[in-house]
Chain A
Amino acid sequence: MTTGVRITQGTFSYLPELTDDEIRAQIQYGIDNGWAVAIEFTDDPHPRNVYWDMWGMPMFDIEDAAAGLLEVNRCRKAYPNRYIRVSLYNATLTKQTVALQFIVNRPPHEPGFRLLRQETTDRIVRYTLEPYAARDPHGERYDGSD
Chain B
Amino acid sequence: MGESKPVESPPLGPGAPPRETAEVYGTPGTEDRFKDLADPMRDIPDDADVGAEGVFEDSHIAEVLDSLDDELIALAEVKARIGEIAALLMIDRLRRKIGLDADVPTLHMSFTGNPGTGKTTVAMKMGQILYKLGYVRKGHLVTATRDDLVGQYVGHTAPKTREVLKRAMGGVLFIDEAYHIYRVDNERDYGQETVEMLLQVMENQREDLVVIMAGYKDHMDRFFSDVPGLSSRIAHHIDFPDYSVDELMDIALLMAESQRYRLAPDAEKALMDYLELRMKQPRFANGRSVRNALDRFRMHQAIRLYKSAERGRKLTKKDLVTIEDADIRQSRVFKGGVYARDSDQERPDPS
Contacts and interface: CB of A to CB of B under 8 A. Distances in A.
Interface of A: 56, 59, 61-67, 70-71
B137 to A, nearest CB: 6
Given A64-B169, A64-B170, 20 more contacts: A56-B159, A59-B166, A61-B167, A62-B166, A62-B167, A62-B169, A63-B138, A63-B140, A63-B169, A63-B170, A63-B171, A64-B137, A65-B170, A66-B169, A66-B170, A66-B209, A67-B167, A67-B169, A67-B170, A70-B169
Contact of B171 (A59, A61, A64, A70): A64
B208 interface: yes
B308 interface: no
Contacts of A71: 166
Contacts of B171: 63-64
Given A59-B166, A61-B167, A66 B140 contact: no
Nearest to B162: A70
Instruction: Give the secondary structure class of B's interface.
Output: loop
B292 interface: no
Interface centre among A63, A65, A71 (most CB of B within 10 A): A63
A65 B137 CA distance: 10
A65 B171 CA distance: 12
A56 B208 CA distance: 21
A66 B208 CA distance: 7
B152 interface: no
B205 A66 contact: yes
Contacts, number: 33
Interface residues of B, number: 13
Contacts of B209: 66
A3 B6 CA distance: 60
Contacts of A56: 159
Contacts of B140: 63
- 5 shortest interchain CB distances as A-B pairs: A64-B170, A67-B166, A66-B208, A64-B169, A66-B169
Contacts of A67: 165-167, 169-170
Interface centre among A56, A59, A64, A70 (most CB of B within 10 A): A64
A65 B166 CA distance: 9
Interface string B138-161: 101000000000000000000100
Nearest to A70: B166
Interface string B20-47: 0000000000000000000000000000
B140 to A, nearest CB: 5
B92 to A, nearest CB: 20
A62 B167 CA distance: 5
A40 to B, nearest CB: 17
Interface string B82-119: 00000000000000000000000000000000000000
Contacts of A65: 170
11 contacts: A56-B159, A59-B166, A62-B166, A62-B169, A63-B167, A63-B169, A63-B171, A64-B138, A67-B165, A67-B166, A70-B205
Nearest to B159: A56
A86 to B, nearest CB: 14
A61 B209 CA distance: 15
Contacts of A59: 166
Interface in B202-221: 205, 208-209
A64 B137 CA distance: 8
A66 B169 CA distance: 7
Interface centre among A61, A62, A66, A70 (most CB of B within 10 A): A66
A63 B137 CA distance: 9
